[in-house]
Amino acid sequence: MSDDGELEPPAGMDDTHIGAGVFDETMGPGSSFAHLYRGEIHRMKSWRERLDRTSNWAITLMAGILTWSFSAQTHPHYLILLGVVTLSIFLSIEARRFRAYDIWRSRVRLIQQNVWAYALDPDGGVLDENWREKLGEDYRTPNMKIPFEEALAHRLRRVYLPLFLVMLAAWVIQLTTYTDGTTPVGSAGIGGVPGNIIVAFVAGFYATLLGISFRPREWHVNGELIPSDVTGWEESEYGGS
């Protein structure tokens, strides 16, 4: 310890080990660890806002397509299907963003569960005895904590599945009430593609959405929204973008 109270590295230790002991000092509001936590909160908030912007654009686009599709009986039904395709693109973008957002949220939750929760209630103990090693390794080599398919399921269940169902209902209404003299399946045709093929394709697409959303799985998301015993730090093979 120097005369001004700063922690000095052990004798013989060069500047490459300047981080040694930096978190062993006071854990007060001005400590290095508190600054680290605030930085992670800021990163998590930034990526949360990115998710919200994607959802807002998807809802705005969907509302515009539905408004225009039902503004005249002559407007073709496949515009709604184009809206479904666009929603799928937004869903894939948001799932990728959610995986990145989960990196920061997982770090925040790891700190909350093992530092602040313990500081507030020492009797509850530490949730993960190896939290420092895991956090340090994640800073050295950041990894995605959840697979892409799970991110899709999370965003579908939270936001996108209701939007897809609204588009499906609108498409069915368009086929049944905005066509003259043909059956709904017959009026579903697009160009030279028969209506039964279009209907089968749409049915398969929505069955896939429901399967992704509700199939039994072990959730890797480490947050307040999905109760789970998994901390999200045991799996590291889902790295990448």
Query: What digits encode the pLDDT tens for the residues 54-79?
Result: 999 999 999 999 999 888 878 888 89
% of the chain exceeding 90 in pLDDT: 32
DSSP H helices, 159-225, are 161-177, 184-187, 195-214
pLDDT of res. 155: 93
In a domain, 213, yes or no: no
- Using an 8 Å Cβ cutoff, are 101 and 51 in contact? yes
Residue 59 lies in a domain: yes
Q: What is the reported pTM?
A: 0.75
Which distant-in-sequence residues (6+ apart) come within 8 Å of 138 by Cβ?
103, 106, 107, 233
Residue 238 lies inside a defined structural domain of this protein: no
Confirm whether 192 is domain-assigned: no
Q: Mean pLDDT across the stretch 86-91?
A: 95
| Domain assignment present for 54 | yes
Residue 132 in any domain: the answer is yes
Buried b (16+ CB within 10 A) or exposed e, 64-86: ebbeebeeeeeeebbebbebbeb
pLDDT at 233: 57
Q: Is residue 157 part of a domain?
A: yes
Digit-coded pLDDT (tens) for 163-222: 999 999 999 988 888 777 678 888 888 888 888 899 999 999 999 999 999 998 888 776
For 135, the 3-state DSSP assignment is: helix
Number of domains observed in the structure of the chain = 1
Lowest mean pLDDT among 38-52, 112-126, 127-141, 222-236: 222-236
pLDDT in tens, 100-130: 898 888 888 888 888 888 888 888 888 888 8
In a domain, 189, yes or no: no
Domain region containing 59: 31-174
Two tokens at 183? 């059956």
